[in-house]
Structure 1
Amino acid sequence: PLDRVEDSLNEIIPDSPNKAYDMYEVIGAIVDKGEFLEVHRDFARNLIVGFARFNGQSVGIVANQPCQMAGVLDCNASRKGARFVRFCDAFNIPIVSLVDVPGFLPGTGQEYNAVILHGAQLLYAYGEATVPKITITLRKSYGGSHIVMGCKQLRADLNFAWPSSEIAVMGASGAVAVLCGKEAKAKKEAGEDVKAFLAEKEQEYTDKFANPYQAAQYGYIDDVIEPRNTRFRICRGLAQLATKRQSLPAKKHGCMPM
């Protein structure tokens, strides 16, 4: 049914932000009959791409997989996602993105393999695509990885978020280390309790920024939805966007990062 609710989705996100869950369970719970045709399964398993149906309509799904490398984006995952998004756009298949991404994978190995270039390819693919684009943020969506995963600034049509989502520049511990590093160092030299101070600042950051409501306030999120209603909201969004027409500037093609 179009309005089928899945109560299991309300409990699928662990209480600990560092604990993984299986994105395949989320996909199976929201698509028609739980049928999902995955492509490139064994390549860059931290990103899932494949085809499914919502209310009978073919859709391409791009989803981060928290069970693999915490769902981070690396060179291979960015290239895999970019290729799939462009394929869907070429054949007029709507794109549904399920986002739980803590960032890009750091390290010299990624730098030597041009992670910036491959990340730019994913960003370009989303920005250029003119098909209906719906993005659901399930949990983490941090920094540059938030931008390349179908955000509102890349002309996504509908952006929803679960109440458990955290849309921010970075996680609480990293942000506090940057913002309060000098103050913490001074307290440590003075013999004060640094752990309690950092814990208090992390909680303050979490309460203020690690939620979807700040993003919704600025228009980057259209609605904060109950997880069990995700299928209905996607189906309704696809029906609203069935007549979408978007024209690109009059030129032969853009200059994609190669």
Structure 2
Amino acid sequence: MTLSAKLLEELRERSARIATAGGEDKAKARHELGQLTARERLNGLFQEGTFQEIGMHIRANPQGGVTKDFPADGVVAGTGYVDGRPVASFSQDFMVAAGTLGKMHAAKIVRAMQLAGRAGMPVVAFNDSGGARIQEAVDALSGYGEVFFQNVLLSGVVPQIAVVCGPCAGGAAYSPALMDFVVMTRNNARMFITGPEVIKAVTGRTVTMDEVGGAAMHAAVSGNVHFLAEDDAHAVSLVRRLLSYLPSNNAEDPPHRPSLDIDETPDLAIHDLIPDDPTLPMDVRPVIARLVDDGELLEVHADFAGNLIVGFARIGGFVVGLIANQSLVKAGALDIDAADKGARFIRFCNAFNIPLVTLVDVPGFLPGVEQERGGIIRHGAKMLFAYASATVPKVTVILRKAYGGSYLAMCSQEMGADFVYAWPTAEIAVMGAEGAVNVLYSKELKAAEDRRAKAAELAAAYRAEFATPYLSAGHGYITDVIDPAATRWTVVLSLRKAATKRETRPPKKHGNIPL
């Protein structure tokens, strides 16, 4: 008995109708804005021929007040391969009921996430939705709750990446916020809890959408967005690049590609990057470029808290999470935003077995009434907590300044670093030389005819006596003082030796990070 040709034709027609939901005119309009359709986004993410859809024929719940047929219920979900590794994804379809979320829409998302958790594969979410489907009332809210619960359940188990490529308003914004990384397109996306109209009605203040929900604002001011994309295609490219550094789940190592040989040729050009005057700022980016493989750093939160740089790279083939003070911005001091940025990145790396490499050039925590009233103590403690609780390999290189509590907050030996190296230019002390002069040498300073010249002389004396790296090395706090030209191969060798690191902690449900 053969399968009826009529049944096969019906299957093809149903599938085609669902796959072309919204019609050619709507798809063309999106393309003119630089947007892709929901299925095109998935096609761009996955290797050709590997996508398998989940729930293509699911329909909206008619008991929830929905009488119109919504193809695929406004969301495309499934699994496929990215660079040979399985990934689960869902893509909300704004061309169908504005991508609004109802009970069955949420059920498809949850099903994909549950499969990701069981199979240990990353989740990529394309958010493009008008929000909760009003006619489904509390059923829509229930759907959001189920999605949020899955976000939390998967946190620290598999990487979760959200791509905001259209509207993402109200409660819908919390799912991306619960994920590990948020990519947002510059011109077509908006994300907010309350929009301009509500803000004006409640507060009387007139604001624009860009001010409260624009991608540039979230990338630079709120810190909600980790990567800013020019359009949908760029967003997909960023996701693929990010995945190339991440393991599929917390039970795997990252995709290391360790080189067979370690090149110990001194990188003498690095000497030219270091200012002769220790009070002058030093751009850490050229240093990073000489340290990492092929000079490639995938920077995270590039537009937010520029005084601290974080991102993914490979060093000697090993995937690392890199954290570095940037003294060109706020002298590299740690402030509230930098502490939040650093702590969250460190905790992600630790959850997914990614070694940490820290480059230190920090004068302290940023002083100021606003910082104190904003809770710099609580926020700074997040950095301490994150580093101390991390059990992955940790390599620290002190380039120049490392003063006071910020010396500890940037992963000193006491905070669990496996290797701590210092350049001869390193200054490790309770406080900076200029501040110490006023405390230790106030009489000499007052008696001097040329106070500026005397202050410089006393600062140099303080550095030589109290801040030299050899003092710290002599007390066993530094693994070694190294030639800056040897930094790369020293770090590579340390990563290779720490690759088999295993560290257990006292049993507990979880620590209580100072949120």
Equivalent residues in 2 for 1:95-134, closer than 5 Å: 95-134=356-395
Q: Does 1:166 align with 2:396?
A: no
Q: Which of 1 and 2 has higher RCO (CA within 8 Å, sep 6+)?
A: 1
Alpha-carbon separation, structure 1, partners of 2:386 and 2:439:
32
Q: Distance in 2 between matches of 1:243 and 1:121?
A: 27
Residues 99, 136 of structure 1: 8 Å contact kept: yes
SS of equivalent residue, structure 2 residue 414: helix
The CA distance in 1 between the partners of 2:419 and 2:445, in whole Å, is 41
Q: Distance in 2 between the 1:91 and 1:199 partners?
A: 47
Q: Provide the C-alpha distance between the structure 1 equivalents of 2:313 and 2:420, rounded to a whole number of angstroms.
A: 19
Is 1:193 the equivalent of 2:454?
A: no
Computing the radius of gyration from Cα coordinates, the structure with the larger value is: 2
Letter in 2 for 1:255: N
- 1:42-84 deviation line (CA, Å, top 9, x unaligned): 0001100000001211100000011111111100000000000
CA distances 1:191-219 after superposition (whole Å, capped 9, x unpaired): x6362654443332121123211110111
Q: Which residue of 1 aligns with 2:346?
A: 85
From the superposition, tell whether residues 244 and 53 of structure 1 become closer, same or farther in structure 2 (CA, over 3 Å).
same
Over aligned residue pairs, what C-alpha RMSD do you find? 1.5
Residue of structure 2 in register with 1:256 after alignment: 513
Residues in 1 aligned to 2:362 and 2:379: alpha-carbon distance in whole angstroms: 16
User: Paired residue for 2:272, among 1, 6, 11?
Assistant: 11
Distance in 2 separating the partners of 1:23 and 1:181:
34
1:216 is aligned to 473
Deviations 1:69-124 (A, max 9, x none): 11111000000000000000000000000000011110001011100101000000
Shift of 1:234: 0.6
Secondary structure, counterpart of 2:435 in structure 1: helix
In structure 1, runs of 5+ residues without a counterpart are none
Q: Is the 8 A contact 1:132 1:241 kept in 2?
A: yes
Residue segments in structure 2 that go unaligned for 5+ positions in a row: 1-260
- The number of residue pairs the alignment matches comes to 253
Supply the distance in 1 between the matched residues of 2:489 and 2:405 (Cα, whole angstroms): 29
- Asked if 1:228 corresponds to 2:508, the answer is no
* Equivalent of 2:440 in 179, 189, 201: 179
Report Cα offsets for 1:133-168 as digits up to 9, x if no partner. 000000100111101000001010000000111111
Whether 2:462 is the aligned partner of 1:205: answer yes
Runs of 4+ in 1 over 6 A off after TM superposition: none
Which residue identity lines up with residue 208 of structure 1 in the other structure? E
Distance 1:49 1:59 in 2: 10
1:247 corresponds to which residue?
504
Relative to the length of structure 1, the TM-score reads: 0.94
